[in-house]
């Protein structure tokens, strides 16, 4: 009887997802067991399985929601007509690094989704409307027209920003090993990249 009351409780699903975010962040996907999430949420394992059939499904939902939340926060940056092109680049890089420090599994999740179902993940992330048709892209086109920056494809810009920002997180196990870095050392390097990446991106966009 107690289980039935919990099942119809509209807050139970959110409670499970909040617990999953915390445990996935602490232990990573591989180190997390569904029992760990159930204990963190204060529910039994059967109830967790009722809402989410597997750890993989729950992880996918958490990662996608986290990235969609990030994209929603970035829309205001993309379409702020009072913010310069340079400031937008700085904000995007800084916000993205902050997200990945909190959710380091997102890059691998996105890469996996892109490999398995590229059209669906791009659609869910609304990249076409939120980035490619944003005021930010109009600023790039205007800067090119005024010869303030080189004639760079928006796709090149996006690739540059993503690779410079995301690769260190994807390769973090190797980088930590090569540099004998602890997590706090790696996080410090990522904080430094908040200032370095915009400089590198701007350098590639200068008119030669």
First vs last Cα of the chain: how many Å apart?
A: 73
pLDDT band at 7 (very low <50, low <70, confident <90, very high): very low
pLDDT in tens, 151-168: 888 778 888 888 999 899
Q: Are residues 119 and 160 in the same domain?
A: yes
State whether 98 and 186 are in the same domain.
yes
The domain that contains 45 carries what CATH number? 1.10.10.60
pTM given for the model: 0.73
Main-chain phi, psi angles of 206, to 5 degrees:
-70, 145
Residues 121 and 22 in one domain: no
Same domain assignment for residues 15 and 105: no
119 CB-near residues (< 8 Å, 6+ apart): none
The reply to whether 152 and 70 lie within a common domain is yes
Indicate the angle between helix axes 34-41 and 12-31, nearest 10 degrees. 140
If asked whether residues 47 and 150 sit together in one domain, one would say no
List helix spans (H) across the chain. 2-7, 12-31, 34-41, 45-51, 55-78, 85-102, 106-116, 118-125, 127, 135-145, 154-170, 172-179, 183-205
What is the number of domains present in the chain?
2
Structural domain boundaries enclosing 119: 55-205
pLDDT in tens, 64-91: 787 777 777 778 888 889 999 999 999 9
**pLDDT score recorded for residue 21:** 85
Do 130 and 77 lie in one domain? The reply is: yes
191 confidence band (pLDDT: 50, 70, 90): very high
- Report residue 124's pLDDT band, with 50, 70 and 90 as the boundaries: low
Same domain, 163 and 81: yes
Query: For residue 122, what is the domain's CATH number?
Result: 1.10.357.10
Report the pLDDT value the prediction gives residue 3, as an integer from 0 to 100.
47
DSSP SS3 for 40: helix
One domain for residues 60 and 49? no
State residue 10's pLDDT score: 63
Residues 20 and 75 both lie in one domain? no
Q: Does residue 124 share a domain with residue 45?
A: no
Q: Are residues 107 and 84 in the same domain?
A: yes
Angle at 126 between CA 77 and CA 79, to 5 degrees: 20
């Amino acid at each position: 009887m107690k289980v039935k009351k919990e099942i119809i409780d509209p807050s139970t699903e959110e409670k499970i997802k909040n617990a999953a975010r915390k445990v996935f962040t602490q232990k990573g996907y591989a180190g997390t067991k569904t029992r760990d999430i159930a204990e963190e949420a204060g529910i039994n394992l059967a109830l967790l399985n009722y809402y989410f059939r597997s750890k993989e499904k729950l992880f996918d939902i958490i990662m996608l929601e986290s990235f969609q939340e990030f994209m929603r926060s970035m829309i205001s940056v993309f379409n702020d007509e009072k913010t310069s092109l340079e400031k937008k680049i700085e904000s995007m890089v800084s916000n993205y690094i902050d997200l990945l420090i909190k959710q380091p599994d997102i890059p691998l999740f996105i890469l996996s989704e892109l490999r398995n179902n590229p059209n669906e993940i791009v659609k869910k992330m609304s990249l076409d409307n939120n980035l490619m048709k944003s005021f930010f892209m109009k600023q790039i086109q205007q800067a090119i027209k005024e010869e303030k920056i080189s004639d760079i494809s928006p796709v090149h810009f996006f690739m540059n920003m993503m690779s410079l920002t995301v690769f260190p997180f994807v390769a973090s196990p190797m980088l930590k090993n090569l540099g004998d870095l602890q997590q706090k050392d790696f996080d410090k390097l990522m904080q430094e990249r908040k200032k370095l990446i915009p400089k590198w991106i701007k350098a590639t966009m200068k008119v030669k």
